[in-house]
Structure 1
Amino acid sequence: MSRRLDVLKAIKQMIAVALPNADVIGLDNDDAIPTRPTPGGRVIVRSGDPGEPEVDLCPLTYNFEHEIPLELTGWDAGNKTSEEVLDEMMVPIGDAIEQDRTLGGLCIWMEARSPLTDDVFLEGATPADRADLVIVATYATTNPLT
């Protein structure tokens, strides 16, 4: 497997562990977006854009800053507002990144950018809040396709 795909799968797994009550979706063809909201929220991990690598010539190394978008959705759950659920989702993701910035050695460095939040309005649906955030994974390979 390529480093790009290894990093994406590891990020999805990291989020699934950090948010055990949320639906974490992405990368696998069998991951269908659930139609009913989960009280723990939903996270969609997108493939993102590895961008153009910086190239070191000796030894030949391709250095990527891969921007991986996450779409988080939180619904009203019992006595918590959707904004509170969303916040309770972002904090563990941030903590997981801080605990292992190298993603088990797959990355040189990993960090999250500040999220953009917004309300989601769907007629007849439970009120929801949404956050778009980006995880930037910096990693190096000897081949831009692996």
Structure 2
Amino acid sequence: MPTPRETILTALADLLRTIAHAPVLRGEVLPERVPAGGLLILRDGSPGEPDMTLSPLAYHYQHRAEIEAVVQGTKRDSLFDALTAQIGAVIAADRTLGGLCDWVEPEAPEPVDLPVEAGAPLKAAVIPVVLHYSTADPLS
């Protein structure tokens, strides 16, 4: 049975997969080719140090996951803008991941342009996503 942390990360990946034109990978390396609509890679990130309550015992996390958003081509600026706007829209539509999280909050990306030898440049950014949730055990 998956832990609450894994269930939440899987739900976030599934939510991102509702963006029709951008495939979503989880914890993978950047492939050699970026699809025309862009690519998203979800990184598990870090749960950080939890706050605790003692009665009943609960660990309250502000887990920082990361979404790597990558686009390529001559229209990469507008494509990147559209892709990040769609990420924001799907998260805003389900801030609790179906009740699994207390709150999901993306942070602003810091895009960079990356040259590619013998190919169109990439535009990429890491988008931090803070997942607020509680568990009864720090290993779950």
Instruction: Give TM-score scaled by structure 2 length.
Output: 0.93
Matched, 1:49 2:49: no
Q: Tell me the residue number matched to 2:21.
A: 21
8 Å contact 1:74–1:85 — kept in the other structure? yes
Q: Tell me the residue number matched to 2:128.
A: 134
Aligned residue identity for 2:109: P
Q: Secondary structure at the match of 1:9?
A: helix
| Match for residue 118 of structure 2 among 120, 124, 139 | 124
Shift of 1:32: 6.7
The structure richer in strand per residue is: 2
| Match for residue 39 of structure 1 among 36, 61, 65 | 36
Unpaired runs of at least 5, structure 1: none
Cα distance in 2 for partners of 1:133, 1:33 equals 15
Comparing 90-99 with 32-41, greater Cα deviation is found at: 32-41
Cα distance in 1 for partners of 2:133, 2:56 equals 15
CA deviations 1:92-118 (Å, max 9, x no partner) are 110111111111011001110111110
Alignment of 1:32-111 (within 5 A): 33-76=30-73, 81-111=75-105
Instruction: Give TM-score scaled by structure 1 length.
Output: 0.90
Cα distance in 1 for partners of 2:62, 2:132 equals 4
Cα distance in 2 for partners of 1:125, 1:42 equals 17
Q: Secondary structure at the match of 1:129?
A: strand
Quote the sequence identity (%): 33
Unpaired runs of at least 5, structure 2: none
Cα distance in 1 for partners of 2:114, 2:4 equals 34
Cα distance in 1 for partners of 2:122, 2:73 equals 7
Q: Aligned-residue CA RMSD in angstroms?
A: 1.4
